[in-house]
Structure 1
Amino acid sequence: MLAVAIFLRSKAPPEAARLLPESDGIVYVDLRPVRTFFRKEWKPAPHDPEYQQFIDATGIDWERDLDQAAVALHRMPDPNGPNGQVAYSMVLVGKLTGPKLRAWLASHATAQDSYGGKTIYSIPSEGRTVRVAQIGYDMVAVSNAPTTEQIHSIVDRHRTAALPFSGSTLLTHHYHEVPLLSLAWGVGQIGLPFNESGAIQVFGLQLPIQSDSTIIASVAPELPLAGALKVRVEEIAPSEDAAASQSAAISTLVDLAKGATAPLNDNPANRGLKDLLKTAEISQSHNRVVIKAALPPSFFASLAAGKNISQEQTTSSEEPPSQH
């Protein structure tokens, strides 16, 4: 029985994702291996005063202490309403809990409620209410949904977290399609945050994919391990004809992007982008459009280089001018 339980757990979604409420989309990231990729290049970021006050008060530095993040996306009925297009519910895992965080939450909350033995803190933020609860020794639940239903659901699911296949309808329907060993993945309508007039728009480029399309996306290590990651994005189109049309349109966009990036200067960021586009493959299988690409080591080096340059510029701007 123990062996069966261990096997089932190995096939189950991560616990943080299983705790999420019903939603339109789910995104999950395991930051522990990501830190391994960036260990050599990534320098600690300078903190703005407000964030430094949070670190001093709680002892929590998100960049250092957050290990996993599972995010549920909730489509709002009125995208122009006070709650915007999308609300979020999150389960965060890491060295994040304790009396210091509890004290910080209590000092910033406008209301506190008890539910399922957990204290839920209501904190105003940008015209919305963010609800936060410490639900485990290393887990924090957060939701900016208009009602308490979502964070209550997380607390309820935490009680049955030991069941390996508990979780939302989205996980039941699509998690089995997520490749094994994925460091980051998303299922459902994960294009909602990028919605522009009903289509997904990224970096100013409108993709021929509707924002409410069902997508299964993943980032997993290339095997055998060679420092690269493989990216896979699969869209479930309404029909085979729609999939064929979208596949052709995306192929054209990739070709245009390759041509546009060819004359760019040879720096780490441009090199990483060119290498990514070079490996891009688009295919169609029945009513599904599949996009595959590889994130080479140069891509990560470009991200780290960009971050470090930004940090150096920030640091130099804070230094007082030399006096002669």
Structure 2
Amino acid sequence: MRRRTRLTIAIVVLFLLLVGAAIYLRKKAPPEAARLLPESDGIVYVDLRPLRAATHFDRHPVAHDPDYQKFIDATGIQPERDLDEAAFALHRMSDPKGPNGPVAFSEVFVGHFDGRRVAAWLQGESASTESYAGHDIYSITNDGRTVRVALLSYDMIAVSNTPSAEQIHSILDRYRTAALPFTGSTLLAKHYVDVPLLSLAWGIGQIGLPLGDNDGRLSVMGLSLPLAQDATFVASLSWAGKTHLRVEEIASSDADAKAAVDSLGTLLSLARAAADQPGISTDPAEAAVASDTRTLLDSARIDQHHNRAVLTAAIPDDLLQRLVAVPATLGRTSASH
């Protein structure tokens, strides 16, 4: 009897340990929406729920263009109210002058959707439908591109406007193994560990998107910034009494990181000097933005940790309110790619 009791206790303890380990791994794992994204050059993730609770942006009416309003009327989706999470994969295009421009996108949206209404709208708009991995993929033509959309579940939608169906197929393949907490793209697996815990929004990727000169450098206010194409950036917004911005450049060497710190320090000094100039606007809203911007700049710091240049700053609450006043633009991607 004692052996059975000991065996039962051992089994219960082992079960509790396994459950605890699973919960711990899930907390340390990237959000599911980000894990579903295909291989890409960059990732951006936003959790709108804490931002909505802190800023109440869903209470402010948003004007929509007529085509987008038709999408809202047909599906019932109000992004500022219904969208909870959005994860974006950025794909650099080999031909920046092609239909997709320099970058194509794959996305996963999580929220509150009426699947039947969304499916009916997709069926009416799609030029063709493909069945893959137990899901329908709706193909919608738009400005020379094909936008592919799949309903993953009652609260999750996948979208991709890449030239081929490879990326939307990858999302559906990953969805089948979504219970595994550390599945995901190579970029996510390598750098999610660099994202601060409990970040509300974050991005990972290289600056090698076509943003600068031929050598991959940016020029701001006449100052050339040493942001090389092989440097990886990790940006995040987190909450700890205040909203904190953190942008980290992972350079190829300590010397490159020091060059970035020096240039960014010079740029920050110039920006502070410009913000200190007396304003000419008498508009109260513009004056408030200017004041918040000065507060943001005053809080900014730039540090170096070996091959990493790190910029940190605190975002004033009022400025954050303005930044998230139009979150509905996130939802527009699925309708107007």
Please, what TM-score do these two structures have when normalized by structure 1?
A: 0.86
Q: Is 1:9 aligned with 2:29?
A: no
* Aligned partner of 2:134 among 86, 93, 117: 117
* Distance of 2:151 and 2:277 partners within structure 1: 51
What code does the residue aligned with 1:240 have?
D
Matched with 1:289 is 309
Question: Offset of 1:52 from its aligned partner?
Answer: 2.1
2:296 maps to 1:276: yes
- SS of residue in 2 equivalent to 1:145: coil
Distance 1:281 1:30, change over 3 A: same
Q: Distance in 2 between matches of 1:270 and 1:211?
A: 33
Q: Partner letter of residue 116 of structure 1?
A: A
Cα distance, 1:299–1:207 mapped onto 2, change above 3 Å: farther
Aligned residues: 302
Q: Is 1:252 matched with 2:266?
A: yes
Residue in structure 2 matching 1:229, options 239, 243, 251: 243
- Aligned residue among 67, 87, 99 for 1:70: 87
Residue of structure 1 equivalent to 2:275: 261
State whether residues 230 and 252 of structure 2, in contact with CA within 8 Å, keep that contact through their aligned partners in structure 1: no
- For 1:322, the equivalent position in structure 2 comes to none
Asked if the contact 2:110/2:157 (under 8 Å) is kept, the reply is yes
How much is the aligned-residue C-alpha RMSD, in angstroms?
Answer: 2.3
Structure 2 counterpart of 1:251, one-letter code: G
CA-CA distance at 1:262 after TM superposition: 1.1
| Cα distance in structure 2, aligned partners of 1:190 and 1:244 | 17
Name 2:4's counterpart in structure 1.
Answer: none
Query: Which SS does the other structure have where 2:227 is aligned?
Result: strand
Q: Which residue of 1 aligns with 2:235?
A: 217
> Deviation digits for residues 115-136 of structure 1, max 9, x if unmatched?
0011101111222111100011
Pick one of 50, 58, 74 that aligns with 1:33.
50
- Structure 2: how far apart are the matches of 1:27 and 1:190? 13
Of 105, 110, 126, which residue of structure 2 is paired with 1:93? 110
Take 1:135 and 1:86, find their aligned partners in 2: how far apart are those partners?
A: 24
Shift of 1:213: 2.6
Tell me which moved more, 199-208 or 266-275.
199-208
For 1:275 and 1:94, how far apart are their aligned partners in 2?
34
Q: Which amino acid aligns with 2:245?
A: V
**Kept in 2: contact 1:233–1:291 (CA 8 A):** yes
Give CA-to-partner distance per residue, 1:50-100, whole Å, 9 cap, x none.
222211111111121111001111111222333321111101000134111
Change (3 A) 1:137 1:214: same
Unaligned runs of at least 5 residues, structure 2: 1-17, 280-285, 327-337
The Cα of 1:168 is off from its aligned counterpart by 1.0
Q: In 2 relative to 1, CA 41–24 (structure 1 residues): closer, same or farther, beyond 3 Å?
A: closer
Q: Do the aligned partners of residues 206 and 41 (structure 1) sit closer, same or farther apart at CA in structure 2, a change above 3 Å counting?
A: farther
Any conservation in 2 of the 1:184–1:219 contact (CA below 8 Å)? yes
Preserved CA contact (<8 Å) 1:215 1:235: yes
Residue 291 of structure 1: how far off its partner (Å) = 0.6
Partner of 1:141: 158
Closer, same or farther in 2 for the Cα pair 1:81/1:56, shift >3 Å? closer
CA distance in 2, matches of 1:206, 1:116: 48
CA distance in 1, matches of 2:58, 2:174: 39
TM-score by length of 2: 0.83
Percent identical? 54
Provide closer, same or farther for how the CA distance between residues 8 and 184 of structure 1 changes in structure 2, counting only shifts above 3 A: same
The 2-side partners of 1:140 and 1:13 are apart by 18
Secondary structure at the counterpart of residue 199 of structure 2: coil
* Correspondence list, 1:51-200, <5 A: 51-189=68-206, 192=209, 194-195=211-212, 197=214, 198-200=216-218
Alignment of 1:38-53 (within 5 A): 38-39=55-56, 43-53=60-70
Q: Quick check: which has more Rg, 1 or 2? A: 2
In the TM superposition, what is the alpha-carbon distance from 1:48 to its structure 2 partner?
2.9
Residue type matched to 2:257 in 1? A
CA distance in 1, matches of 2:110, 2:83: 6
Counterpart of 1:242 in structure 2 is 256
